[in-house]
Chain A
Amino acid sequence: MNYFLIFFSAAIVNNFVLSYFLGICPFVGVSKRVSSAVSMGMAVTFVMLITSVVTWLIYHLILVPFEVEILEYVSFILVIASLVQLVEMFIRKVSKPLYDTLGIYLPLITTNCAILGLALFSVLREYSFMESVVFGLGAGVGFTLALVIMAGIREELELAPVPKYFQGAGITMIVAGGLALAFMGFAGMI
């Protein structure tokens, strides 16, 4: 598979949020304001990129040579959790403004299924190193895209008369359903 195809497939056609249901929790939780959605999306994309590099190295240079693939899940989740911590500390040291924008979202990312999902899919699809990195970037962009569109719609929704029982999570799910339908239109482009 060529890189463009992998990127396009992860970002649009098989969007992580709208067709694999990965990262639904932040999708519901942090999609009320476009500005915070953009920050969250950037934080996730950043962590995804690093994760795809590090988990690829761990899987192919440690787990496979030592035949301990059974430790895949334990090592991946530990690495992701530590990475998120490291990134948080690093950003705090390097740039105060960046920390103020992304900082509060970073702890949430550890339990974001999209990150672990990315690492698992990379292994499952037997991606090469470069392919994993492109896949990570595509998935991050796709996640950001879905989050920002959703936040845009929800900002408008605040002014709309939503039926009482659908307020909050209910209407968010219905809107996500509509978005997922729209994204299905991209199928066949790869």
Chain B
Amino acid sequence: MSKLSISTRMILVLTLITVLSGGILAGWDMFTKPRIEFHRLEALKTAIGEVLPAHDQYESRETESGTLYIGTNTGSDQPVGIAFMAVGSGFQGELRIMVGLTPDLTQLTGIKVLEQIETPGLGTKIVVDPSNKQDPFWFPAQFKGIHVAPEIIALKNAKPSTNNEVQGITGATISSKAVTRILNEQIANVKAAWTTKGGPES
């Protein structure tokens, strides 16, 4: 080893280390990849399951406005609902919301905020509200059955009176309105993509 010139040694040793590193990682990748993929699909399935009515399978369909997940039951080709991932900015950063819609895209069947970095104790109530012991999920739960036309509205300090309104969170108006804004924008996109694709029957 010491007979070699220093630059040859440098190249040799670095190559050796890199090859070793590549080898370890290639093996580790083969070992962990299936499990990581499994967890990813499992998380997706759980999220879709939470926002759509009971179904036993779903198919993914790529459209201009992202992937749509269409839930169906075996033995029936009537979809129970259509889910998609809505992404947009909230109070502090990006929100990722799984949204469930009825097959005719007129009502919500549920929403679930999957990722957010809102203010703990205020904006995080869009996911869960620990201060409401009876009903910690009151905010996301309101969206079930809400009509999307003409648009979904989050009210400040008032009870909803029509079927397109939900009650906003006190102290987190921006977070509440961010959710409805993202929903309104992206449901419109999904509607457009859905009609160009030939409608629900395609």
**Which of A's residues lie within 8 Å of B, judged by CB?**
1, 5, 9, 13-14, 70-71, 74, 125, 187-188, 190
* A9 nearest in chain B by CB position: B93
Measured CA separation A13–B174 after assembly (Å): 15
Asked whether A70 lies within 8 Å of B91 as measured between CB atoms, the reply is: no
Asked whether A70 lies within 8 Å of B21 as measured between CB atoms, the reply is: no
Q: Which residues of B contact A188 (CB under 8 A)?
A: 91-92, 174
Measured CA separation A9–B22 after assembly (Å): 36
* A78 nearest in chain B by CB position: B18
Task: Type the 1/0 row for B19-32, where 1 means its CB is closer than 8 Å to any CB of A.
Answer: 00110011011000
Measured CA separation A83–B74 after assembly (Å): 56
Can you offer 26 A-B residue contacts whose CB atoms are under 8 A?
A: A1-B89, A5-B89, A9-B89, A9-B93, A13-B92, A13-B93, A14-B92, A14-B93, A14-B117, A70-B25, A70-B26, A70-B28, A70-B29, A71-B22, A71-B25, A74-B21, A74-B25, A125-B94, A187-B91, A187-B92, A187-B119, A188-B91, A188-B92, A188-B174, A190-B89, A190-B93
Give the Cβ gap from B39 to chain A, nearest Cβ, in Å.
16
Measured CA separation A131–B28 after assembly (Å): 32
* B88 nearest in chain A by CB position: A1
* B91 nearest in chain A by CB position: A188
Measured CA separation A138–B60 after assembly (Å): 36
**Which of B's residues lie within 8 Å of A, judged by CB?**
21-22, 25-26, 28-29, 89, 91-94, 117, 119, 174
Give the Cβ gap from B25 to chain A, nearest Cβ, in Å.
5
Measured CA separation A149–B170 after assembly (Å): 34
Measured CA separation A70–B26 after assembly (Å): 8
Q: Which residues of A contact B21 (CB under 8 A)?
A: 74
Q: Which residues of A contact B174 (CB under 8 A)?
A: 188
* A13 nearest in chain B by CB position: B92
Measured CA separation A90–B21 after assembly (Å): 30
Interface centre among A13, A187, A190 (most CB of B within 10 A): A187
Q: Which residues of A contact B91 (CB under 8 A)?
A: 187-188
Measured CA separation A190–B174 after assembly (Å): 10
Q: Which residues of B contact A71 (CB under 8 A)?
A: 22, 25
Give the Cβ gap from A141 to chain B, nearest Cβ, in Å.
18
Instruction: Name the 6 nearest CB pairs between A and B, nearest first.
Output: A70-B29, A187-B92, A188-B174, A70-B25, A188-B91, A190-B89
Give the Cβ gap from A139 to chain B, nearest Cβ, in Å.
14
Measured CA separation A1–B87 after assembly (Å): 10
Measured CA separation A125–B96 after assembly (Å): 11
Give the Cβ gap from A19 to chain B, nearest Cβ, in Å.
8
Give the Cβ gap from A85 to chain B, nearest Cβ, in Å.
14
Give the Cβ gap from A115 to chain B, nearest Cβ, in Å.
21
* B93 nearest in chain A by CB position: A14
Measured CA separation A74–B23 after assembly (Å): 13
Measured CA separation A74–B17 after assembly (Å): 12
Q: Which residues of A contact B22 (CB under 8 A)?
A: 71
Measured CA separation A125–B117 after assembly (Å): 14
Q: Which residues of B contact A13 (CB under 8 A)?
A: 92-93
* B21 nearest in chain A by CB position: A74
Measured CA separation A150–B29 after assembly (Å): 43
Given contact pairs A9-B93, A13-B93, A70-B25, enumerate 18 new A-B contacts (beta carbons under 8 Å).
A1-B89, A5-B89, A9-B89, A14-B92, A14-B93, A14-B117, A70-B26, A70-B28, A70-B29, A71-B22, A74-B21, A74-B25, A187-B91, A187-B92, A188-B91, A188-B174, A190-B89, A190-B93
* B32 nearest in chain A by CB position: A70
Measured CA separation A37–B55 after assembly (Å): 59
* B178 nearest in chain A by CB position: A188
